[in-house]
Amino acid sequence: MNPNDGVKVNHKHTAKHLVLVGGGHAHLMVLSKLKEYTGRGHRVTLISPSAYHYYSGMGPGMLSGFYHPGEIRFHIRKMAEDRGASFFQDPVIRVDPAKRALLLQSGSRIKYDVVSFNIGSDIRQDDIVISGGNVLPVKPIENLLKARELILKSFPDRTADILVVGGGPAGLEISANVWKLLSDNRISGRIIVVCGGRMLAHFPDRARTLALKSLRERNIDVLENISVRTLERGKATLTDGTTLACDIVLLATGVKPPSLFLNSGLETGQDGGLRVNAYLQSVSYPEIFGGGDCISFQDNPLPKVGVHAVKENRILCNNLHIMLNGGELMRYKPQRNYLLIFNLGNGRGLLWRQSLVIEGRATLWLKNYIDRKFMRKFQLSGELAEK
């Protein structure tokens, strides 16, 4: 079968092994419907470094305390096991596509008939030399919980110097929600955002203006068109030689796919993401699929925004079922005009869609409504009872 045709899959029904690597946004529908796979005699295995998957869109709100952890995560281990799947808490470090096998960090080897990857992204930090200090990339989202606990524990009686590196949406939301965390807990602190270029450089000027105004009204310093060169314990050195005191550094410097696919010799896009066709299927191996930030869409590379992973849910759920049982594959048609809303940490949100830019309390209410509706759909394992 040519993976670029990918329209019709014909084969006799036999029991097969489906492996899901990662329990991210694009795999949630598959996980919720696992009985449709296991009920037909197929074996399903979920492999993930964690028993939980945290929803990135609500991560900054967890950092500030707007949400508790149970509100923003899915218990993917329980979700899988309750529906007849096996679970391995172990990272995949290599794919052997010729032998249809996965090598895990523990040394275990898992064979598959069909495999799908939804392993998210890593934070870029290639140009920063890090030699010490409390430096936390903002992904995985669990790091935001670590940052919250570190801030609350470390500064009962002295000023906190918090450095946020990155001027994109993550840098905006993280710095704004650190401010809320400090303010709500009466911690004296200084927050500095080092943007590299301009803050929200790829957004309309009105969005940039409103974001900068919101931060500067709360005495959050924003340094544009300058970058961090080195991070040591308690000190950051910028590209112009300036040094900044920093007790905690949060890296929000953009994302890239994990190196798994490059290291495994699979065909990738320029960013190292698994190269897939319109069916979210590897262009080289039709039994390999992927979704979310870890893929590179062959027709046109997609922005790394959560809306794509959420929309890919239905496509992956259908196409993995078809690869196991036969039928017609479904194309993913990316949504071009999507809505983004950023949590500004002060009870207000910043909304952007095409030419529309709105800042206010109603926009944060809308974001909270949309996010909680998505969570309710897939929180099927008692997550809200957890703290």
pLDDT digits (tens, 9 = 90+) for 93-111: 999 999 999 999 999 999 9
Between 213 and 333, residue with greater pLDDT: 213
> d(Cα 26, Cα 28) in Å, to the nearest integer?
6
CA dihedral sign, ordered 56, 58, 61, 66: negative
Give residue 11's pLDDT: 61
Indicate if the pLDDT at residue 132 is higher than 90: no
Cα-based angle 31, 341, 152 (whole degrees, multiple of 5): 80
Q: What is the mean pLDDT of the chain?
A: 93
CATH topology of domain 124-254+339-373: FAD/NAD(P)-binding domain (3.50.50)
- Report which of 293, 377, 276, 294 is spatially closest to residue 331, judged by C-alpha positions: 276
Indicate if the pLDDT at residue 182 is higher than 90: yes
Q: Do 8-49+90-121+257-328 and 124-254+339-373 come out as alike in CATH topology?
A: yes
Segment 170-176 mean pLDDT? 98
Residue type, 131: S
Residue 223 CB-half CA count within 13 A: 17
Indicate if the pLDDT at residue 8 is higher than 70: no
Q: Contact, 324 vs 18, CB < 8 A?
A: yes
- Report which of 357, 349, 335, 336 is spatially closest to residue 204, judged by C-alpha positions: 357
> d(Cα 49, Cα 166) in Å, to the nearest integer?
26
Query: What's the token pair of residue 96?
Result: 């052997």
Give residue 31's pLDDT: 96
Q: In the 8-state DSSP scheme, what is residue 281?
A: B
pLDDT band at residue 283 under the 50/70/90 scheme: very high
Segment 307-317 mean pLDDT? 89
Among the residue ranges 72-81, 122-131, 165-174, the one predicted with the least confidence is 122-131
pLDDT band at residue 1 under the 50/70/90 scheme: very low
Query: What's the token pair of residue 244?
Result: 């900044």
CA dihedral sign, ordered 314, 367, 70, 254: positive
Segment 121-128 mean pLDDT? 88
pLDDT band at residue 290 under the 50/70/90 scheme: very high
225-270 confidence digits (pLDDT tens): 999 999 999 999 999 999 999 999 999 999 999 999 999 999 999 9
Q: Which helix (H) or strand (E) holds 296?
A: strand 295-297
Give residue 7's pLDDT: 54
Phi, psi at 264, each rounded to 5°? -95, 0
Output the pTM of the full model: 0.93
Segment 350-377 mean pLDDT? 96
Domain boundaries, the chain: 8-49+90-121+257-328, 124-254+339-373
Cα dihedral 153, 159, 163, 169, rounded to 10, equals: 80
Give residue 303's pLDDT: 74
For 8-49+90-121+257-328, give the CATH class: alpha beta
pLDDT band at residue 5 under the 50/70/90 scheme: very low
